[in-house]
Homo-oligomer: A and B are copies of this chain.
Amino acid sequence: MNTFERRQWEVTEYPFKPGHILHSETIYTIGNGLVGVRGSFEEGYPGDSALTLAAGLFNQTPDQLVPELIPLPNWLSLHISVNDCWFSLKDGKILGYDRTLNLKEAVLRRGVLWRSPNGDTVRFAFERFASLANPHVLAIQVLVQVLNEGEHTIEVNSPLEPTSHHPEGGNHWEYLQSVPNQPFVTLHGKAAPSGYEIGMASYLDIEGATPTVLSDPAAPGYHSKFEVAQNQKVMITKLFALHTSRDSQDPVASATTTLTSAVKSGYAVLFQEHQAAWDHYWQHFDIQIEGDEIAQRAVRFCTYHFLIASPTHEERVSIGAKTLSGHGYKGHIFWDTELFILPPVTLAQPDLARRLLMYRYHNLAGARRKAAEGGYQGAMFPWESTDTGEETTPRWVPGLDGNPIRIWTGDNEQHISTDIAYAVLQYWRWTGEEEWFRQYGAEIVLDTAKFWGSRVEYNQALGRYEIHQQIGPDEYHENIDNSVFTNRMVVWHLQEALGVWDYLRGHYPDDATRLARQLGLDDATLAHWQTIAEKMWIPMQGGVFEQFENFFQRLKPINLEDYTPRTTNMDMILGHAKTQVSRVIKQADVVMLMALLRNQLGDDTFLRRNWDEYSTVVDHGSSLSPAMHAVVAARLGLNEQAYDYLIYAATLDLDDLKGNVRDGIHAACCGGVWQAVVLGLCGLELTENGPVTRPHLPEHWRRVTFRIFYQGKPMTITVE
Contacts and interface: CB of A to CB of B under 8 A. Distances in A.
B123 A562 contact: yes
Contact of A14 (B562, B565, B647): B565
Interface string A202-225: 000000000000000000000000
Nearest to A145: B562
A655 B7 CA distance: 15
Given A4-B698, A20-B19, A231-B562, A567 B294 contact: no
Nearest to A99: B565
Contacts of A644: 3
A148 to B, nearest CB: 9
B700 A4 contact: yes
Copies, count: 2
Contact of A231 (B294, B559, B564, B573): B559
Interface string A545-586: 000000000000001001111111000110000000000000
Q: Is the interface of A mostly helix, strand, loop or mixed?
A: mixed
Nearest to A572: B95
A294 B15 contact: no
A279 B446 CA distance: 65
Interface string A648-663: 0000000111010000
A655 B293 CA distance: 18
Interface stretch (A55-63, A108-116, A350-358): A108-116
A517 interface: no
Contact of A564 (B2, B113, B291): B113
Given A96-B563, A562-B231, A565-B98, A640 B3 contact: yes
B643 A565 contact: no
B292 A4 contact: yes
A699 interface: yes
A186 interface: no
Contact of A567 (B15, B123, B231): B15
Nearest to A119: B575
B563 A115 contact: no
A17 interface: yes
Given A95-B573, A113-B564, A294-B294, 16 more contacts: A2-B640, A3-B640, A15-B567, A93-B568, A94-B567, A95-B567, A95-B572, A96-B563, A96-B565, A98-B565, A113-B563, A123-B563, A145-B562, A147-B562, A291-B291, A292-B293
